[in-house]
Amino acid sequence: MKFRALGEARWILGILAAAWLGTILLFPIFSFLIAGFLLFSLYFFRDPERTPPTDESLAVSPADGVVVEVMEVEESEFLHCRVRRVGIFLSVFDVHVNRAPIAGEITHSEPFTGRYLDARNPDSAKLNARRTWVIKGSQATLVVRQITGAIARRICAWSQVGDAVNRGGRFGMIRFGSRTEADFPLDAEILVKLGDRVRGGETPIARLPGPN
């Protein structure tokens, strides 16, 4: 999946490259603007390597961005219990590849249609178009949500039900500004707070309880 992000951008990059060549020939002064869009698109679809911490009890962030929500809520779709939710806002300048917080098996992956509210709005988690993933690990079962935003209009799923994922492994991406959430059991220790900046697949955001 290393170059999957660039693959998601192939038509965008192709159109921009063709427009850039055309403006060089016909309207050279505008070629600098098109070149800027082309370079930004290459930057946006970057996919750096990440190394999770060695401690297997640490769940890593599913996304790059800023923590905008840490709260206890009722997860009524899949787990049907109260959870500790961590919400992360991704700006257009963040890496948009999503990564698994824990190692495990994907037991559910389901898209939902909806609106395109600003991803910083807490209501976006309920009202916006999104994809929900359930990952069953040896220490816990987590729910991860990819949520669209006012600009983001496409969620790209790179894994499917039955796939095994490594901690920090790529499972998809969201195109442009968006939000990603992870739901943890109540006995998990949340290691981040509002305003913290996190890196997907690398920053520990929760410590899971040991096996019973």
Tens-level pLDDT at each residue, the chain (212 residues)? 667 888 888 888 899 999 999 999 888 888 999 999 999 889 889 999 999 999 999 999 999 999 999 999 999 889 999 999 999 999 989 999 999 999 999 999 999 988 887 777 777 777 888 999 999 999 999 999 999 877 667 899 999 999 999 999 999 998 876 899 999 999 999 999 999 999 999 999 999 987 65
pLDDT recorded at residue 11:
84
pLDDT recorded at residue 118:
75
Assess contact for 62 and 144: CB atoms under 8 A: yes
pLDDT recorded at residue 157:
94
How many other C-beta atoms are found inside a 10 Å radius of the C-beta of residue 112? 16
Q: What global pTM score does this model have?
A: 0.89
pLDDT recorded at residue 1:
60
pLDDT recorded at residue 176:
73
pLDDT recorded at residue 152:
60
3-state helix, strand, coil in the chain (%, to 5): 20, 35, 40
pLDDT recorded at residue 211:
63
178 in catalytic set: yes
Query: Is the four-CA dihedral 79, 73, 124, 39 of positive or negative sign?
Result: negative
Classified as helix, coil or strand, 71 is: strand
Q: 31, 61, 159, 178: which is the annotated catalytic residue?
A: 178
- N-term to C-term CA, the chain: 34
Q: Any idea where the domains of the chain sit in the sequence?
A: 4-44, 58-207
